[in-house]
């Protein structure tokens, strides 16, 4: 168990920070490969002692030699690949988005293969799917048709194809996970970061307007992180990709949960009732069958923990309202 060594790419980001926190608390040797140099998201949710146990490697996944060196230097036996540019960044610079999200992901598979690793886990996204009305009634089925409507979604679809070919040609197994709207401390960028930014503003007693609404699936950061860790440790073959489950909620329920936790914010959190271009609910029976029951923190608890982390971090200056 604990003799496994993890390399997590993009782990200065939101989900990565929570993955690292889980790994360190579970006693795993953990290395981070990220192009960024500031561990501010990890500092929100980990102690200095915990951070001191992490090996930080600064490097860009668009460079294969960098990725290979990181795999070697970390002695990684398990890879969790999260580094990516999110929807707004890919929209602003599609070529850079393709370089990081598509070529960078090819580099992760290639480096894993060259290091003789047998499997890896990577982040795909709900953004490989289209609008709710494209899929008929009921939760989105496992294996539903991909129909991305952003550059980002197209790049994630390419990642899933890359994974298939590395399994077919090289026997390198993988699991791709498709999170939906992840919320929780450290979620400060990306198209669906509004609800968490609202939690931060509410913790500071300030107003916030969320730029989307409608009904979608919400996943607490810690649950998402635990799902990645579970997938990374699972004995697998093939190149399966799973939709990650969670509660299907309307934005008004998110706002109500924020107001319940931060009553001073009552009436100050607003939203555009414009749904995301994704299905409203997902069927997660396939991932549950593959990995077992996965954590699903109730919304009220997730918001309570998030607001508490933000209050503590606002008090000592580790975070500021954006
Ligand atoms: N947060 C969500 O709701 C959500 C939903 C679906 C999928 N995902 C996917 O999960 C993964 C993690 O998401 P997140 O919310 O933690 O993202 P994030 O934006 O918070 O973090 C991404 C990290 O990747 C790093 N990175 C970017 N370019 C890099 C490069 N060239 N080399 C090395 N590192 C680089 C960044 O510095 C950052 O620390 C991403 O692949 C994302 O597309 C996230």
Is residue 100 lining ligand 1, measured as CB closer than 6 Å?
yes
How confident is the model over 44-77, as pLDDT tens digits?
A: 999 999 999 999 999 999 999 999 999 999 999 9
Best residue for ligand 1 mutational test, from 86, 91, 225, 278 (most atoms within 8 Å of Cβ): 86
- The ligand 1 atom at the shortest distance from the C-alpha of residue 81 is 41
Could you count the other beta carbons within 10 Å of the beta carbon of residue 250?
Answer: 16
Question: Residue 179: is its pLDDT beyond 60?
Answer: yes
Token pair of 118 as six digits:
């047998």
The CA–CA distances, whole Å, from 195 to 130, 191, 220, 243 equal 21, 10, 11, 21
DSSP of 148-166: --SHHHHHHHHHHHHHHHH
> Which SS3 state, helix, strand or coil, does residue 102 take?
helix
Is residue 192 lining ligand 1, measured as CB closer than 6 Å?
yes
pLDDT for residue 2: 52
Question: Residue 30: is its pLDDT beyond 90?
Answer: yes
How confident is the model over 216-240, as pLDDT tens digits?
A: 999 999 999 999 999 999 999 999 9
pLDDT for residue 255: 98
Q: Which of 197, 200, 229, 191 is nearest to 315 (CA)?
A: 200
CA of 136 to the centre of ligand 1 (A): 30
Mean pLDDT score across all residues of the chain: 96
CA–CA gap between residue 199 and residue 184 (Å, rounded): 8
How confident is the model over 267-302, as pLDDT tens digits?
A: 999 999 999 999 999 999 999 999 999 999 999 999
CA of 307 to the centre of ligand 1 (A): 22
Q: Are strands 173-178 and 119-123 parallel, antiparallel or unpaired?
A: parallel
pLDDT for residue 182: 98
The CA–CA distances, whole Å, from 1 to 5, 122, 233, 251 equal 9, 21, 9, 40
Is residue 62 lining ligand 1, measured as CB closer than 6 Å?
yes
Is residue 13 lining ligand 1, measured as CB closer than 6 Å?
yes
Q: Which superfamily, per CATH, for 5-183+221-245+279-296?
A: NAD(P)-binding Rossmann-like Domain (3.40.50.720)
Token pair of 300 as six digits:
């009220």
CA–CA gap between residue 127 and residue 176 (Å, rounded): 13
How confident is the model over 113-170, as pLDDT tens digits?
A: 999 999 999 999 999 999 888 898 889 999 999 999 999 999 999 999 999 999 999 9
CA of 209 to the centre of ligand 1 (A): 23
pLDDT for residue 136: 85
pLDDT band at 310 (very low <50, low <70, confident <90, very high): very high
The DSSP symbol for 101 reads I
Residue in the structure block whose two tokens are 């604990």:
2
CA–CA gap between residue 129 and residue 127 (Å, rounded): 5
Q: Are strands 247-250 and 215-220 parallel, antiparallel or unpaired?
A: antiparallel
Whether residue 194 contacts residue 211, with contact meaning beta carbons closer than 8 Å, is answered with yes
Q: Which of 247, 207, 186 is nearest to 10 (CA)?
A: 186
CA–CA gap between residue 179 and residue 123 (Å, rounded): 8
The CA–CA distances, whole Å, from 127 to 143, 152, 195, 209, 263 equal 14, 7, 18, 23, 33
Range list of H helices, the chain: 14-25, 40-45, 48-52, 64-74, 87-92, 94-98, 104-114, 151-170, 194-203, 221-233, 251-261, 285-291, 299-315
- List the chain domain ranges: 5-183+221-245+279-296
Average pLDDT over residues 166-194: 97
CA of 263 to the centre of ligand 1 (A): 32
CA–CA gap between residue 115 and residue 55 (Å, rounded): 19
Average pLDDT over residues 170-181: 98
Question: Residue 84: is its pLDDT beyond 70?
Answer: yes
Work out the angle between the directed axes of helices 194-203 and 251-261 (0-180°, nearest 10): 20
pLDDT for residue 132: 85
The DSSP symbol for 275 reads B
Q: Which of 214, 62, 242 is nearest to 143 (CA)?
A: 242
CA–CA gap between residue 229 and residue 78 (Å, rounded): 9
pLDDT for residue 284: 95
pLDDT for residue 322: 75
Percent over 70 (pLDDT), the chain: 99
Question: Residue 1: is its pLDDT beyond 70?
Answer: no
pLDDT for residue 133: 86
CA–CA gap between residue 152 and residue 298 (Å, rounded): 29
């Amino acid at each position: 168990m604990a003799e496994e060594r993890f390399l997590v790419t993009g782990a200065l980001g939101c989900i990565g920070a929570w993955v690292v926190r889980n790994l360190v608390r579970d006693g795993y040797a953990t290395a981070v490969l990220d192009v960024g140099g500031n561990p501010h998201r990890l500092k929100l949710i980990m102690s200095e002692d915990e951070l001191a146990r992490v090996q930080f490697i600064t490097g860009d996944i668009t460079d294969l030699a960098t990725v290979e060196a990181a795999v070697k230097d970390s002695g990684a036996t398990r890879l969790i690949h999260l580094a990516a540019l999110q929807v707004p960044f890919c929209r602003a610079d599609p070529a850079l988005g393709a370089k990081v999200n598509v070529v960078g992901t090819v580099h992760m598979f290639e480096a894993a293969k060259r290091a003789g690793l047998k499997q890896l886990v990577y982040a795909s996204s709900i953004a490989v799917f289209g609008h709710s009305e494209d899929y008929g009634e009921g939760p989105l089925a496992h294996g539903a048709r991909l129909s991305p409507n952003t550059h980002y979604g197209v790049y994630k679809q390419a990642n899933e194809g890359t994974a298939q070919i590395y399994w077919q040609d090289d026997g390198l197994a993988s699991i791709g996970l498709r999170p939906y709207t992840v919320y929780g401390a450290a979620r400060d960028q990306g198209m669906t970061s509004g609800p968490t930014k609202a939690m931060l503003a509410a913790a500071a007693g300030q107003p916030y307007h969320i730029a989307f609404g409608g009904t979608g699936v919400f996943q607490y950061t810690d649950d998402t992180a635990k799902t990645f860790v579970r997938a990374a440790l699972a004995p697998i073959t093939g190149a399966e990709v799973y939709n990650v489950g969670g509660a299907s909620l309307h934005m008004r329920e998110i706002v109500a949960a924020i107001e319940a936790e931060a009553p001073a914010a009552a009436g100050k959190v607003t939203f555009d009732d414009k749904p995301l271009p994704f299905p409203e609910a997902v069927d997660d029976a396939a991932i549950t069958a593959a990995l077992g029951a996965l954590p699903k923190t109730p919304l009220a608890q997730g918001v309570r923990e998030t607001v508490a982390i933000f209050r503590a971090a606002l008090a000592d200056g580790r975070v500021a309202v954006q």
